[in-house]
Amino acid sequence: MGGREPRLPLSEHEQQVLQELEQALVEQDPAFADRVRSENVYRYAGRYLKWSVLGFAAGLTVMLVFFTTSVAVGSLGVLMMFASLVMFWTNLRRMGKAGWEDIGRSLRSEGIGHAVTDTRSWFRERFRRDR
């Protein structure tokens, strides 16, 4: 009826199996296990919110620079802006109110500088030349 379905607790056997799976994952690939622990829907959606804002700005720039010289390229900028807005709206809905509260709590505790540092370190790691 529009609400969430009640969650059933796991049996002892199910909890034991889940713990064994988690332990096996940690032993086989500890880096992946750490990443899985740190990721959640809110971080994922928040990351795509940032990318959609960047995509909108890029589309706006393309539109403003090229619209007078090439209507086709300017229209491509408009399409980029539209796609970015759709992506922004989709991820905004995915986050919901709880996601915004989680992000706000995270920014208050860690500070905005921590978010910038995380993004900068991700870019450095992602685009390292010595791969």
Q: How confident is the model at residue 63 (pLDDT cuts 50, 70, 90)?
A: very high
Asked if the structure places residue 32 within a domain, the reply is no
103 touches 50 (CB < 8 A): no
Q: How confident is the model at residue 49 (pLDDT cuts 50, 70, 90)?
A: confident
Asked if the structure places residue 73 within a domain, the reply is yes
Rounded to two decimals, the pTM is 0.50
| Domain total of the chain | 1
Asked if the structure places residue 65 within a domain, the reply is yes
Range of the domain at 86: 40-123
Asked if the structure places residue 87 within a domain, the reply is yes
Helix axes 112-126, 71-110, angle to 10 degrees: 120
pLDDT at 1: 46
Sign of CA dihedral 65, 68, 73, 77: positive
Asked if the structure places residue 83 within a domain, the reply is yes
Asked if the structure places residue 92 within a domain, the reply is yes
Asked if the structure places residue 52 within a domain, the reply is yes
User: Hey, how many other C-beta atoms are within 10 angstroms of the C-beta on 77?
Assistant: 19
Asked if the structure places residue 49 within a domain, the reply is yes
Which pairs from 28-36 meet CB under 8 Å and 24+ separation? Answer: none
Q: Classify burial at 109, counting beta carbons within 10 Å of its beta carbon; exposed 0-12, middle 13-18, buried 19 or more.
A: exposed
Tell me what the mean pLDDT of segment 60-70 comes to. Answer: 91
